Chain A
Amino acid sequence: MPRLLALVWPELRVPEADPRPFERMLDALDDLSPRVEAVDRGVALVEITGLEPMWGPEPRIAARAAMLTRGAAPLHVRCGIGENRWLATLAARLARPSRPDAPAALRVLERAELRDLPLGLLPADPAVRQRFALFGLTRMEQLADLSRSAVGAQFGPAGERLQALARGHDPRPVVPRRRPERVEAGATFETPLDGIGAVSLTLRRLAAELCDRLRERHRAPGRAVLELRLEDAPSLRVEQPFPQPALEPDWIARLLLSRLEAAARARSAGPEVADEPRVASVRLAFDRLSDPAASQLPAFEVRAGRWEELRWSLERMRHRFGEGRLWRAAVDRPTAALPEHRSRLVDIGP
């Protein structure tokens, strides 16, 4: 019998929440099970069937999942375990922490327990709820015990689906997400390097190493993430999306270095940081991998290829001169009387 673990982070469910930690949480859950589904923002489903021999009983697996995701972001989580996705997510919805400040709450919901729950927990629209009330149906068991044909006659196919849920049946399978591919390389310095500029050679070497690895597989990165661990200062982390999938270690290293210098300048403007941080280690990661041959436009138009090449220089200029310098023009109303109404400038973007 399959067993599913649903995890819900209420703080990520609000519209204004920052969605970025969720991706990192999913990455962390990949270490627990190979089948992880991102149901919605702030809701994840993990198939835990057969994991007991490795991780222990189900509550311990849930605790492990909560611990792994707290490493990505320290948010409160509600965990639910059931034999299908409906029971697991409903269990997570009903889970209540043992004390108000507890970081995680767990509820295990079996099919038999479903019968005593109110019918209002079903994902029905208000009109159907109203009709349930008109028929005097208030609990799951009342709907579950009706014959399927009678429910179909009164409420249609949607009613039949709700009845199946009330009986604890949910045939929808877990659809595991594809784990984003990522390659990494790093270097640790026994004697820390003086200043951020000193990492340029190492950075070039790491970029070349990763490019070589990816070239053999006909893949190219769309983004680089560089992390510097500093002595006596917080780590520096910069992300650089590329104008196009690229396997050019020189360009990548130069772009990253200029972004790194900009980040270091911004930090040194603050009051609390020493002016020359010493670098203890460097870690470079490439992700958003794709097939570089998929972008074929430059092969057909020389100018388009040169424009793509130029975007690398433009990206460096943006770091050097700041935002608001490089634009493309678009004409909206060519016959407008005032020049400022005829056209607008559009940021060239990364």
Chain B
Amino acid sequence: MSTDAAVSPSLANALETLHARGLGLRRGSDPEPLAGDRPAVPSGHPALDAALRGGGWPRGALALLDAPAGGGATSLALATLAAAQEAGGLTVWLDLDGTLDPAVAARLGVELDWLLVVRPRDAAEAIELTAWFGRSGLIDALVLDLGSHAAPDRRALDRLASLLARSGSTAALVLAPGARPVAGAAAGVRVALHRSAWLAVGRDLVGQRVRAVVERHRWALAGGSAELDLWFGEGRRIDALSPALADPRPVEVARPGLRVVSA
């Protein structure tokens, strides 16, 4: 006991010194450090970029967009890809269910020339492909849409998160309405979307207002939130008018009486 007591403080001090010098030792509870000093990938919504505290999605992060089906996660992911492309980046959409509608993506500002659409066979292959893209160091933003598939292997997701962090080049957004617990545990950043209102022009629903809450952030302070207006694909068609004309309707009251205009 006395020996342990004598050694432990010195070991702890040595570890602390090395840790302070950044010499590669880290506590198990510490997050995987992000490699590289490239700027974060913008989300397309300045308010959310501010809530994420680094100017957007950190490169090397596996970020879960936690929202139920129809909750705006796809719109936010597409907005992120559009913003990443606007900054000169290359983007990838891994579409496990085959539900990506390129026409909607194009209407939301995504340049299809710089978007690679990947159709993996299953969740395991999707994760492996994501790792390949992360390793290439050439992709700025990537969306891993697991759809309603069964939960992916937790260890595979952990390995992917670690690899992405080491590579430090790709911001990977995960859409996994069917596997939120597993993906949420592995993700370094978790943003939950809560719908606060529909956005309507007359009797037409053209978008939704969501509150995005940064519930987890391994590399910055979590807890920030932002209010985002997410337009449906069709809503963007009247882009200039939508923000001016759209009228927020309460979620409970407005929905039954309104006509949804979406792609």
Contact = CB atoms under 8 A, between A and B. Distances in A.
A, B: real partners: yes
Interface string A331-349: 1001010010011010010
B119 A310 contact: no
Contacts of A327: 116-119
Contacts of A313: 132-133, 136, 138
B120 interface: yes
Residue with the highest number of chain B CB atoms closer than 10 Å, among A303, A309, A317, A330: A303
Nearest to B85: A303
A307 B115 contact: no
B106 interface: yes
Contacts of B118: 325-327
Interface residues of A, number: 26
Given A326-B116, A328-B116, A307 B90 contact: yes
B190 to A, nearest CB: 28
A269 interface: no
A15 interface: no
B138 A310 contact: yes
A135 interface: no
B245 to A, nearest CB: 21
A334 to B, nearest CB: 5
A336 B101 CA distance: 12
A306 interface: yes
A324 interface: yes
B119 A324 contact: yes
A325 B120 contact: yes
B114 A329 contact: no
Contacts of B121: 325
Given A303-B88, A348-B116, A325 B136 contact: no
B103 interface: yes
B89 interface: yes
A336 B263 CA distance: 10
Residue with the highest number of chain A CB atoms closer than 10 Å, among B103, B112, B114, B119: B103
B125 interface: yes
Nearest to A332: B103
A35 B22 CA distance: 70
B33 to A, nearest CB: 25
A310 B114 CA distance: 11
Given A325-B129, A327-B116, A310 B102 contact: no
A321 interface: yes
Nearest to A306: B138
Contact of A334 (B107, B116, B125, B136): B107
A330 B102 contact: yes
Contact of A330 (B112, B136, B139): B112
Nearest to B112: A329
A317 B133 CA distance: 10
Contacts of B139: 310
B205 interface: no
A1 interface: no
A112 interface: no
Contacts of B106: 331, 334
Nearest to A343: B102
Given A303-B89, A306-B90, A313-B136, A342 B114 contact: no
B105 interface: yes
B125 A321 contact: yes
29 contacts: A303-B88, A303-B89, A303-B114, A307-B90, A310-B136, A310-B138, A310-B139, A314-B116, A321-B128, A325-B120, A326-B116, A326-B117, A327-B116, A327-B117, A327-B119, A328-B112, A328-B113, A328-B115, A328-B116, A329-B100, A329-B112, A329-B115, A331-B112, A336-B103, A339-B103, A339-B263, A342-B101, A342-B102, A348-B116
List the 9 closest A-B pairs by CB distance, nearest first.
Answer: A329-B102, A342-B103, A343-B102, A313-B136, A327-B117, A339-B101, A310-B138, A334-B103, A329-B112
Given A321-B129, A334-B103, A342-B102, 19 more contacts: A303-B90, A307-B90, A320-B132, A321-B128, A325-B120, A327-B116, A327-B117, A327-B119, A328-B112, A328-B113, A329-B112, A329-B115, A329-B117, A330-B102, A331-B103, A334-B106, A339-B104, A343-B102, A345-B102
